[in-house]
Structure 1
Amino acid sequence: MVRVPMTVGGAEALRKELDNLKNVVRPRITAAIAEARAHGDLKENAEYHAAREQQSFAEGRIQEIEGKLSNAQIIDISKMPQTGKVIFGVTVDIENVANGETKTYQIVGDDEADLKIGKISVNSPIARGLIGKEEGDTVVIQTPAGQVEYEIAEVRYE
């Protein structure tokens, strides 16, 4: 079994979604199926088929989340020694050496990644280029636009 790294926040978000699916969505779908069954003929009952499809999706998502959580290696970055080194879970500020533009990223697991909110996958080219480096180091990252040189301005263990 392969352990998948996940931040504490990522694991908590999955647990909340799982709780919502089990305690809110699942009972609502069960009630909708019961109501649709009461309408009679199931062959041509669109409400029944839609509710069964929702049930299938919800149960699949429950299994998926339970699997992810069981394979997760939850890493609490706040308990790590703050050495200034870029590791999984840190938030890092990088500055483009050419134009001075600063970007902030948190390095997270694949399931948590969301570039819109500054969370990048540990397997992304940027994260792979930063892992193991330290504050003050300069790194060259291969981007779609070509190679870009960044300086690691700050590493935060939050």
Structure 2
Amino acid sequence: MTESLLLTQAAFDRLKDELERLITVERHEIAKRIQDAREEGDLKENGGYHAAKEEQGKIEARINRLEEMLATAEIGSADASDGVVKQGLMVSCKLNGRPAEFFLGSHEIFEGTKFEEQIEDGDLDVYSPDSPIGKVVMGTKVGDVVSFNAPNGKEISVEILAVSNFEF
């Protein structure tokens, strides 16, 4: 069973627009580039053809992922007022006693936004609800202390300090 993905209306619309652009514009452009490269002759040593085919694979993979995300999307926003950690919220905590803050949800909802660079630079941490830390903090409340084993086997304690809404 596929779990739903909580998206704001703005994030849903942005992903839907991206899907539409990929299907109606980029898919046709890459098909034209492949056809043009085919007409150049020998495909074995045709760098343009191979680059275009690789790009086509990336476009099709993104289309498939977006279709999957949108099909399981739930429109709304998480409510932080009850102090419970849930998908779609920012979590302020202490990881092994050190202050930390992260968004609990899919990093893919940030693609194409002003926050994408912050994620890439490590200025905004995003953890999936299915990640080790995501699984252990989901449903906890402010003040709770839980722990989990990191992929390297190290035990990490998490003290929940606050939850808040993320403003896109």
TM-score, reference length from structure 2? 0.68
- Measure the CA separation in 2 of the matches of 1:10 and 1:157: 14
| C-alpha distance 142-44 of structure 1, shift in aligned 2 (>3 A) | closer
- Between the two proteins, the alignment pairs up a number of residues equal to 153
Q: For 1:135, what is the secondary structure of its paired residue?
A: coil
Q: For 1:59, what is the secondary structure of its paired residue?
A: helix
Alignment partner of 1:101 is 2:92: no
Which runs of structure 2 are paired with 1:46-57 in the superposition (5 Å)? 46=46, 47-57=48-58
Structure with the greater alpha carbon radius of gyration: 1
Q: For 2:163, what is the secondary structure of its paired residue?
A: strand
- Measure the CA separation in 2 of the matches of 1:4 and 1:110: 14
Matched to 2:100, the amino acid is: K
Tell me what 1:76 maps to: 77
Tell me what 2:90 maps to: 91
TM-score, reference length from structure 1? 0.72
Q: For 1:133, what is the secondary structure of its paired residue?
A: coil
Native 8 Å contact 1:82 1:157 kept in 2: no
Q: Which runs of 5 or more structure 1 residues have no equivalent in the other structure?
A: none
Q: CA deviation at 1:83?
A: 0.6
Tell me what 1:64 maps to: 65
| C-alpha distance 148-38 of structure 1, shift in aligned 2 (>3 A) | closer
Aligned match of 2:134 in 127, 131, 137? 127
Q: For 1:152, what is the secondary structure of its paired residue?
A: strand
Q: CA deviation at 1:13?
A: 5.6
- Measure the CA separation in 1 of the matches of 2:52 and 2:14: 25
Q: CA deviation at 1:63?
A: 2.9
Alignment partner of 1:136 is 2:143: yes
Q: CA RMSD in A?
A: 3.3
